Structure formats: structure tokens, C-alpha cells
Homo-oligomer: A and B are copies of this chain.
Amino acid sequence: MGWGVKPTGRAPILIRPATRADDDSVWRVIEPMIREGETYPLARDMTREAALAHFFKAEHEMFIAESGGAALGAYYLRANSTGPASHVANCGYVTATEARGRGVARAMCLHSLERARARGFRAMQFNLVISTNEVAVHLWQACGFTIVGRLPGAFNSPRHGYVDALVMYQAL
């Protein structure tokens, strides 16, 4: 199956809360993203321990996407800020390399929007969407996000050098 093809005939994608008992699965999902360094502002040489501590921070609500028992993706939901700005949510989604093109990121994003609404957040903000990550930019737009800002050269891409990052936002 290629990119963008619906997962017909596959087991459905299930999204459930993740715990530190899922460390191995979450690490398998996030390690290639960290080593690649093209999509998240995380050091490419980050250790497994540091990366898992980051994703499983106390203030993060962590979820894992699975199909037929295999981990396809993971994401966290958190308040993007505190006090008078704590009504704005933020998420970080990672799709397993081998699960790309199966709608996993879309499923996680829609799940997170629902969860954020249920928790009473009034908006969701992505602080640093890498402009070269066009699949993600289009997907977030399809999920209701608007580009509300552009940060010139804010991300140092191993492949492209300094590239712009986008701020994306939607009211809930």
C-alpha cells in the first residue's frame, strides 16, 4: 500500500493511554524521528532515557496508537503554557516509520482534538511545524489548523539547513 491509501483490509487503529510499561513500543516509534532530526526540536543524539523522560513528562498525557497489537504511533497532549494561557493545548505526534501513509497521524490528531475538548481546552497550538514537512502542514490544515505565524530560519534541518517553522492554531 502506498502513501495516503486508506487502511482497508487492515486491523483498525486503536488509540489508548500509554504508560511507562509501553517504553519499548514508544521508543521504537520515536527513535527514528529523533535520529532523523527533521521534524522535532530534539537533539538527534538524545538517549532513550532522556527521550522517554521527555515524552512521559508528568504534565504530558501520553497515548499510543496500535493496530493488531503493533505500535504505529505515539503522542502527548499537554497545556502549551500556564496560568492565563493554560487554556491552549499542545500536542506532539510521532508515526512509526513503517506505518507512514496509513492515516495514523490523522487518527492521533483527531483523537487529541476530541480529548482536548473533553479536558476543557479552548484552543490547540503547534509551536514549531517545520515548513519543509509538507505532509504534516497539509494534514494539520485538513484537521482544522490555520497557519498563524512563520518563524524565519527557526529550524536547522540536517537535510535543508536553516528552514522556516510555522505556528499553527485552531479554536476548539
Q: Which residues of A contact B (CB under 8 A)?
A: 37, 40-44, 46, 81-88, 122-123, 125, 127-128, 148-158, 162, 165, 167, 169, 171
Contacts and interface: CB of A to CB of B under 8 A. Distances in A.
5 contacts: A41-B86, A84-B157, A84-B158, A85-B156, A151-B167
A154 B85 contact: yes
A83 B152 contact: no
- For the complex, would chain A's binding face be called helix, strand, loop or mixed by DSSP majority? strand
A149 B165 CA distance: 11
A41 B88 CA distance: 11
A81 B153 contact: no
A145 B40 CA distance: 25
B84 A37 contact: yes
B152 A149 contact: no
